[in-house]
Amino acid sequence: MNKIRSRILGGLVGALLAVGCGVGLLFFLNSGVFSTSKDADSSSPAQTAAAPEQTTQPAQEVSSAEEAHAESEPEKEPEPEKTLEIELKKKSYTYTGSEITPKFTVLLDGKELDEGDFETSLSNNTEVGKASLTVTSGDLSASKSFSIVPAAPKISKSYTSTASSVTISWEPAEQAQYYSISKYTDMTDAEKKAAGKTDEDEENRNKDENGETIKPAHCGKADADESTYTDKTVQSGMVYRYVIRSCAKVGNKNYDSGFSKELTAVTLPDKPGMPTLSADKKTIVWTPSAKCDGYEVLMAESGKELKSTAETDKTSASFTAKSMVTVVIRAYIECDGKKYYSLQSDPALLEPAAAPPETTAAEAEAPAEG
């Protein structure tokens, strides 16, 4: 009986072990640890496709590391370009008929170069107009333009004037196509006294109370073949200063010379009115001029030449004459120590007051009537 039980138990244990081994074998086979050649062949494509992923992954990691390293490095700044510059001493030069070479300096990155460190070339530098200067140093070059203008005309110191006009003249200038005439307005008393100063002083005279330069006003134009100009935009008894420029037009641009030297011109005062005598015949009176510094009285006996008898800043003068005389008045304006006289007034024939009759001694001693 016991043997039978032992056999039954042994069979059960064996069966259980067999079942367990079968289940384990199936699990082992499904896990892929062990496979048949057929399974290996069927799985090789998948394994082959996966292989590149396994081999390229490290390469991607290296590439990302290199990019991170490159980004961490600062970018190198490009080297600044060198600059070549020209500095002209003047931008305008006067026509001479010959080639003009301007005065200039050459700078490389702000540092002045010696003459041997660059080459120069010039174009259009003879005639009036726009000229060009080019310098080259190594593979660098720079250009600068400058102007050539006509010479300023030489203004004449002599002129003619009336109470309503001034006529000036000048010597023609080469290359001038026309002339521009300008003037400064009336001078103050201080300016009149300074009218004979030197050219150096004239520059300071043309400044206002704030030190700003006063520009002359354009008043006229003359053609190239003209050398005189009459200014009719003036007032009587005034002092003007004239300057002239030579002008030319090349293309669409005007090229003007500097101003000539100044000419001081005086317009004459208006003609005074005809003189008359006061009621007591002891004073000459007349109608004043619009503007003047004073008057001159001239008298002459019949048939004789007029002579100056008095000067005054009033419009009256005392009258003393022994007989009938001719009297004229003329106004004057004074500038630079000189007097500029108006036209004479219409002449007046003036008779002095009759002298009281002389009394005799007998008449003086006679008793008064009454």
Find tokens 């006067």 and name the residue: 94
Compute the average pLDDT of residues 92-119.
Answer: 94
Which position has the higher pLDDT, 364 or 147? 147
Choose the weakest-confidence range: 34-43, 99-108, 180-189, 287-296.
Answer: 34-43
Find tokens 């060009």 and name the residue: 132
pLDDT (0 to 100) of residue 44: 47
Q: Exposure pattern of 150-172 as b/e (b: 16+ CB <10 Å)?
A: bbbbebeeebebebeebebbbee
Confidence tier at 203 by pLDDT (50, 70, 90): low
β-bridge partners, 343: none
* Structure letter (DSSP) for residue 76: P
Confidence tier at 353 by pLDDT (50, 70, 90): confident
Give the pTM.
0.66
Distance CA 236, CA 289 (A): 9
**Amino acid identity for residue 137 in this structure:** S
Distance CA 10, CA 260 (A): 145
Q: DSSP states of 10-72 as a string? A: HHHHHHHHHHHHHHHHHHHHHTTSS--HHHHHHHHHHHHHHHHHHHHHHHHHHHHHHHHHHHH
Per DSSP bridges, beta strands 140-149 and 92-94 are parallel
Confidence tier at 78 by pLDDT (50, 70, 90): confident
Report whether pLDDT(27) > 60: no
Distance CA 180, CA 219 (A): 8
| Fold adopted by 276-350 | Immunoglobulin-like (2.60.40)
Distance CA 364, CA 38 (A): 187
| Fold adopted by 154-266 | Immunoglobulin-like (2.60.40)
Compute the average pLDDT of residues 295-302.
Answer: 95
Cβ–Cβ under 8 Å, residues 238 and 266: yes
Cα-flanking dihedrals φ and ψ of residue 325, to 5°?
-135, 160
pLDDT (0 to 100) of residue 208: 64
pLDDT (0 to 100) of residue 20: 57
**Amino acid identity for residue 273 in this structure:** G
Structure tokens at 367: 């008793």
Q: Contacts by 129-138 with C-beta closer than 8 Å and gap 24+? A: 129/248, 129/250, 129/251, 129/253, 129/255, 130/250, 130/251, 130/253, 131/100, 131/102, 133/86, 133/88, 133/102, 133/104, 135/84, 135/86, 135/106, 137/84, 137/106, 137/108, 137/113
Distance CA 296, CA 313 (A): 9
Residue 365, burial from CB neighbour count under 10 angstroms (0-12, 13-18, 19+): exposed
pLDDT (0 to 100) of residue 21: 54
Cβ–Cβ under 8 Å, residues 195 and 239: yes
Choose the weakest-confidence range: 59-73, 216-230, 249-263, 279-293.
Answer: 59-73
Confidence tier at 67 by pLDDT (50, 70, 90): low
Percent of the chain beyond pLDDT 70?
Answer: 68
All residues at 6 or more sequence positions from 228 whose CB lies less than 8 Å from its CB, including other chains: 167, 168, 169, 170, 222
pLDDT (0 to 100) of residue 103: 94
The CA-CA-CA angle for residues 163, 168, 169, to 5°, reads 160
All residues at 6 or more sequence positions from 193 whose CB lies less than 8 Å from its CB, including other chains: 336
Confidence tier at 302 by pLDDT (50, 70, 90): confident
Distance CA 165, CA 168 (A): 10
Which secondary-structure segment (H or E) carries 274? Answer: none
Length of the chain: 370
